[in-house]
């Protein structure tokens, strides 16, 4: 099965045996492609990985933070179509991700096939819980801008809740709700912004028929003692919203999002996967054990982002047997990791905080 077919077939449809076989084939080819076309990737792999590749767990991985300090790409400068910049934490250097047209198009198709599971195929009137100012630079996007632009294709009659001064447009919001009161509405925003501008604001409306998709910003939410279940419960109490779906993803692997199901678990699509690794020796861990999340995807061809060791901790909850009936691995995020400098590839690895 080629990569286009893997993206276009019904997602969450491949069982472990089928998925492992097809992903391993494509990921090994991508590894070899990036070795040939990225000097930086070749240097990293030669220093850190020297064992043969027989299984998907053997595919070399690089720390996601390396994109903050190095420009890794497997294309020529004249092939760069877009540059994405990660949001990063306050004061940190953002990652810069270089996309060619082919990679950008694959990411859009992949995201579309995943989102159909919670939105359907029809475009809905859409509220974007942000300001239009974040997407004005069409060449270099922030992670927020890329997320908004990527999700906006699933809506119509777009309304940005915030003006360019990041204040709520209450009048525009009331007009939008009145105009579309007999239609389901799609909302998208980053988690902390949804909380700040929907829950903590004075907005009032019955959004019981709406669908909310959100992502990121959990560090700020946990500082407020708001976890995923509390987030959903409070929004339902205030504005009646019942269909709330979180997803896990990152600028360094755009398109490969891990969407939450009705039972609160994040799911791997056919073209992407995760491995939970021991934070001390990086060995793969079993179901139910907490470790570092490695994300794998067949989408990144313009840069070596196909196998990344993240800075997030998680637990694999199962595979092929979630009550939602989706095939593939499903997991939860348990938190971020505490920084610790580990010499070797001029970047930062991390050691988990105790829980």
Q: Show the domains of the chain with their CATH numbers.
A: 3-77+272-352 (2.30.38.10), 107-247 (3.40.50)
What's residue 343's pLDDT? 29
Residue 197 three-state SS? helix
The CA distance from 67 to 74, in Å, is 13
Per-residue CA distances from 322 to 221, 254, 276, 350 (Å): 27, 25, 18, 30
Q: ∠ CA(324), CA(129), CA(244), 5° rounding?
A: 15
Helix (H) or strand (E) holding 20: helix 16-37
Q: How many CA atoms lie within 13 A of 232 on its CB side?
A: 14
For the full predicted model, state whether its pTM sits above 0.75.
yes
Q: What is the pLDDT of residue 45?
A: 92
CB 191 within 8 A of CB 214: yes
Of 153, 111, 150, 155, which Cα lies nearest the Cα of 134? 150
- For position 348, what pLDDT does the model report? 30
Low-confidence ranges of the chain (pLDDT < 70): 87-92, 137-143, 339-355
The answer for residues whose C-beta is within 8 angstroms of residue 54's C-beta and 6 or more apart is: none
**In the prediction, which pLDDT does 90 show?**
47
């Amino acid at each position: 099965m080629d990569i286009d077919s893997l993206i276009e077939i019904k997602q969450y449809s491949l069982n472990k045996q089928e998925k492992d076989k097809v992903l391993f084939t494509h990921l090994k080819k991508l590894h070899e492609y990036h070795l040939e076309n990225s000097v930086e990737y070749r240097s990293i792999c030669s220093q850190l990985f020297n064992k043969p590749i027989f299984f998907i767990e053997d595919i070399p991985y690089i720390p996601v933070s390396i994109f903050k300090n190095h420009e890794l790409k497997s294309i020529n400068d004249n092939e760069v179509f877009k540059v994405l910049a990660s949001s990063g934490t306050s004061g940190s250097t953002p990652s810069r991700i270089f996309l060619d047209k082919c990679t950008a198009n694959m990411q859009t198709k992949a995201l579309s096939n995943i989102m159909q599971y919670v939105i359907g195929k029809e475009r809905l009137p859409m509220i974007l819980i942000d300001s239009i100012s974040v997407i004005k630079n069409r060449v270099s996007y922030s992670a927020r801008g890329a997320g908004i632009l990527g999700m906006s294709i699933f809506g119509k009659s777009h309304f940005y809740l915030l003006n360019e001064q990041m204040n709520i447009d209450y009048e525009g919001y009331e007009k939008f709700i009145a105009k579309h009161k007999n239609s389901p509405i799609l909302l998208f925003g980053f988690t902390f912004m949804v909380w700040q501008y929907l829950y903590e604001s004075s907005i009032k409306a019955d959004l019981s028929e709406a669908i909310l998709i959100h992502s990121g910003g959990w560090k700020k939410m946990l500082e407020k003692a708001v976890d995923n279940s509390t987030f959903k419960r409070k929004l339902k109490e205030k504005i009646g919203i019942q269909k709330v779906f979180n997803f896990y993803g990152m600028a360094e692997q755009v398109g490969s999002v891990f969407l939450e199901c009705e039972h609160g678990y994040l799911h791997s699509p056919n073209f992407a996967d995760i491995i939970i690794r021991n934070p001390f020796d990086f060995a793969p861990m079993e179901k139910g054990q907490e470790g570092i999340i490695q994300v794998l995807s067949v989408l990144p061809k313009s840069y070596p982002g196909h196998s990344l060791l993240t800075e997030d901790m998680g637990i694999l909850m199962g595979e092929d047997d979630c009550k939602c009936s989706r095939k593939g691995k499903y997991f939860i995020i348990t938190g971020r990791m505490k920084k610790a400098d580990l010499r070797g590839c001029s970047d930062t690895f991390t050691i988990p905080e105790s829980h």
